[in-house]
């Protein structure tokens, strides 16, 4: 564990949320610890450096795990650092197969994505690369048992969900996903699109991370839209029953 991750772990442990992202990081870990079983099968979409994948492997050592990271150097690092511990794919997941330009933000790789978006850093250094687009349903068979999915794709979450429609319908896994202004709106995504897809087409409920931990308090469409528009929340969870 590097110095930065060690500090983050201490802050999580003490529930000291210096930023909204640190709060979401802590809440996500709490949900994972509560819901993931030793044999759970999990998907990490937007794996980045593997921070969440490392936790998934620890919580579900008997499960099968799948990780997606389109940035070439991070993909290679993941294969090297987690050798034989998960299935790694260098695709950017989308609603349709194909190819696309991809905005690699060199001085803030976590902001990288298919489309240019608002970046909360000064002078973003962007290198445009090419990536292969794949539907999740065409990479992992919809008949595969999946219990947990994490999606962090800087605004492209609706396309990811649509490309995995059959897998999601068949399994109804827990899905933790980012969806908010400054990212999703650059893809033309409206909050109603995401809410309707998950609730009506997949059959899941939606909650904030806090609401889920507090007796699984669900959000109505109106509440979800207000959270999106105001920026009050931008990480959510979808779940069955």
**Band (66; pLDDT cuts 50, 70, 90):** very high
Residue of 160, 157, 161 whose CA lies nearest to 189: 157
Distances (CA, A) of 140 to 17, 115, 120, 129: 35, 25, 34, 25
pLDDT of amino acid 13: 52
Tell me: the pLDDT tens digits for 15-41?
A: 444 589 999 999 999 999 999 999 999
**Domain definitions of the chain by residue range:** 20-90+140-239
Q: pTM (2 decimals)?
A: 0.91
Q: How far is residue 194's CA from residue 3's CA, in Å, rounded to a whole number?
A: 37
How does pLDDT run across 155-181, given as a tens digit for each residue? Answer: 999 999 999 999 999 999 999 999 999
* pLDDT level of residue 12 (50, 70, 90 thresholds): very low
> What is the C-alpha to C-alpha distance for residues 36 and 53, in angstroms, rounded to an integer?
12
pLDDT (tens digit per residue) in 219-232:
999 999 999 999 99
Contacts of 200 (CB under 8 A, 6+ apart): none
Superfamily of structural domain 20-90+140-239 = Vaccinia Virus protein VP39 (3.40.50.150)
- Which of the four pLDDT bands, split at 50, 70 and 90, describes residue 211? very high
* Average pLDDT score over residue span 46-51: 96
């Amino acid at each position: 564990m590097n110095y930065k991750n060690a500090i983050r772990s201490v802050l999580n442990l003490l529930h000291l949320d210096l930023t909204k992202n640190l709060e979401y990081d802590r809440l996500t870990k709490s949900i994972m610890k509560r819901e993931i079983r030793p044999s759970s099968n999990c998907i990490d979409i937007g794996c980045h450096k593997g921070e969440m994948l490392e936790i998934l492997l620890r919580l579900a050592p008997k499960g099968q795990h799948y990780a997606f990271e389109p940035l070439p150097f991070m993909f290679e690092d993941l294969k090297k650092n987690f050798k034989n511990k998960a299935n790694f794919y260098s695709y950017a997941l989308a609603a349709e197969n194909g190819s696309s330009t991809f905005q690699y933000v060199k001085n803030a790789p976590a902001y990288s994505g298919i489309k240019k978006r608002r970046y909360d850093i000064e002078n973003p250094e962007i290198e445009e690369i090419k990536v292969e687009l794949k539907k999740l349903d065409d990479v992992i068979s919809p008949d595969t048992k999946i219990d947990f999915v994490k999606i962090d794709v800087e605004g492209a979450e609706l396309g990811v969900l649509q490309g995995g429609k059959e897998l999601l319908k068949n399994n109804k896994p827990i899905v933790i996903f980012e969806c908010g202004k400054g990212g999703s709106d650059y893809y033309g995504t409206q909050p109603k699109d995401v809410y309707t897809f998950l609730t009506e087409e997949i059959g899941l409920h939606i909650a904030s991370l806090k609401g889920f931990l507090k007796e699984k308090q669900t959000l109505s469409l109106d509440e979800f839209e207000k959270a999106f528009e105001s920026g009050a929340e931008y990480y959510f969870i979808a779940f069955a029953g």
